[in-house]
């Protein structure tokens, strides 16, 4: 791999009393202030929101899905049109994942060996084969600023033996990805695994730190384990990663996660939660999620949240938003999505400002004292239902 001259990371502030830090990631398509929340644009689009609206909402990083873009429209098409930035009309920084999580979620359609992953497309059933080298080639064709190694996302629960086998294969694939990567204007992140076994997480952190990647992603968490277990894994992992490299917690990003995991040293979050719950009529508020389908909002003239400056809250009542959702009008999904993204992006800005001012611990305590976190069993059922939809079940 050529020396990366277009990418840099610097820490500009730290929080007393926690591991939280503020930084800046420099990329060819602009700076990313950290900690940062990246809206998920699976098919090179954040569902129902235009790139201009994302910019107005304050997004500074978008994550697209390598697996889905590989299948449709194909990396060659995207490359022929100038790469993913002009293709999707977003000129800010972009990250593409490796497809590892999709391999995990579509387990009934795939087979894994040392060479890579053989799977059947969820679109047409055609057989496909992805190796670490091919995943890097696809991401180089797509042209995102930040890209990820192919990994195996170990399920939960999982035996230590299976977690260790997945870890060995993930490490082997990471070495091959690093060797295959050629573009000096992209930063390749390694993905740590290890399941819920502290010693394996420590081993993975040391392994990737020794390979000196430009950044590190922590995978295989928020796959069914408790929040407490996730935090324990971060506590043993983060201290072993280089201080001068960004840390990305893959697929994690509920409001409480932004505080609790930033406090544990995470710099980058991505999650489809804000857009996914919007499609079900749920809105984030400072007190917790508000389900607009509840009949109590039928004639409620109030906005979703008093004081919120998003377009939905500034212009529409709960009654109208409930009407749109119940009538299955597209505008209802769009307004819910814009509100939820505004909430998450604004909260992340508040967190960063609080780190820089030394007030992060106080802000975290204040927020979590009034925010009602979704019950673990409810979250588990919701996640299982989501995975079943991904698998076509």
Q: Locate the DSSP E strands across the chain.
A: 8-14, 21-27, 30-34, 36-41, 62-64, 94-96, 110-112, 117-120, 127-130, 146-148, 187-192, 215-218, 247-249, 268-271, 282-285, 288-291
Total count of residues recorded for the chain: 393
- Strand order from edge to edge, sheet including 117-120: 110-112, 117-120, 127-130
What token pair was written down for 282?
């749920």
Per the CB < 8 A criterion, the answer to whether 181 and 173 are in contact is no
* Number of Cβ within a 10 Å radius of residue 153: 24
DSSP 183-229: -TTSEEEEEE--TT-HHHHHHHHHHHHHHT-SEEEE-S-SSSS-HHH
Name the residue among 241, 236, 240 with its Cα closest to residue 216.
Answer: 241
Pairing mode, strands 21-27 and 30-34 = antiparallel
| 154's tokens | 């170990």
> Is the Cβ–Cβ distance between 224 and 283 less than 8 Å?
no
Catalytic, out of 166, 257, 267, 270: 270
Strands 8-14 and 21-27: antiparallel
Q: In the annotation, is 257 catalytic?
A: no
317/299 Cα distance (integer angstroms): 9
> Is 97 a residue of the active site?
yes
Task: Tell me the two tokens of residue 203.
Answer: 């081993």
Cβ atoms of 269 and 35 closer than 8 Å = yes
CA of residue 194 relative to chain centroid, distance:
19
Residues 196-223 as b or e (16 or more Cβ within 10 Å = b): bbeebbbbbbebbbeeebbbbbbbbbbb
The residue assigned the tokens 């939660």 is: 273
Task: Give me the active site residues, please.
Answer: 97, 270
């Amino acid at each position: 791999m050529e020396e990366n001259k277009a990418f840099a990371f610097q820490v500009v502030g730290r929080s007393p009393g926690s591991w939280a830090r503020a930084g800046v990631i420099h990329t060819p398509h602009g700076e990313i202030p950290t900690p940062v929340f990246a809206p998920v644009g699976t098919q090179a689009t954040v569902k129902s929101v235009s790139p201009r609206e994302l910019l107005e909402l304050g997004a500074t990083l978008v994550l697209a899905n390598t697996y889905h873009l590989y299948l449709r429209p194909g990396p060659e098409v995207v490359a022929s049109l100038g790469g993913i930035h002009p293709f999707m009309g977003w000129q800010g920084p972009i990250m593409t994942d490796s497809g590892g999580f999709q391999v995990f979620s579509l387990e009934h359609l795939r087979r894994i060996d040392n060479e890579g992953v053989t799977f059947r497309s969820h679109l047409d059933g055609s057989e496909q084969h992805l190796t670490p080298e091919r995943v890097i080639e696809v991401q180089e064709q797509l042209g995102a600023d930040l890209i990820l190694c192919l990994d195996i996302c170990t399920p939960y629960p999982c035996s230590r033996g299976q977690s260790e086998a997945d870890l060995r294969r993930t490490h082997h694939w990471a070495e091959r990805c690093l060797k295959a990567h050629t573009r000096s204007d992209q930063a390749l992140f390694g993905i740590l695994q290890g399941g819920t076994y502290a010693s394996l997480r420590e081993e993975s952190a040391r392994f990737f730190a020794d390979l000196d990647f430009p950044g590190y992603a922590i995978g295989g968490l928020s796959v069914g384990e408790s929040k407490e277990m996730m935090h324990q894994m971060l506590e043993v992992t983060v201290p072993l990663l280089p201080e001068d490299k960004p840390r990305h917690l893959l697929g994690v990003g509920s409001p409480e996660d932004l505080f609790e995991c930033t406090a544990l040293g995470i710099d980058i979050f991505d999650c489809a939660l804000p857009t996914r719950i919007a499609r079900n009529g749920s809105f984030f508020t400072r007190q917790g999620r508000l389900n607009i389908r509840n009949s109590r909002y039928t004639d409620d003239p109030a906005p979703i949240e008093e004081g919120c400056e998003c377009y939905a809250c500034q212009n529409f009542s709960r009654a109208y938003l409930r009407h749109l959702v119940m009538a299955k009008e597209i505008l209802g999904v769009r307004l819910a999505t814009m509100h939820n993204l505004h909430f998450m992006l604004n909260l992340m800005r508040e967190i960063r400002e609080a780190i820089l001012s030394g007030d992060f611990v106080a802000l975290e305590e204040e927020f979590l004292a009034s925010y009602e976190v979704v019950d673990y069993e409810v979250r588990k059922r919701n996640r299982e239902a989501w995975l079943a939809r991904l698998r076509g079940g």
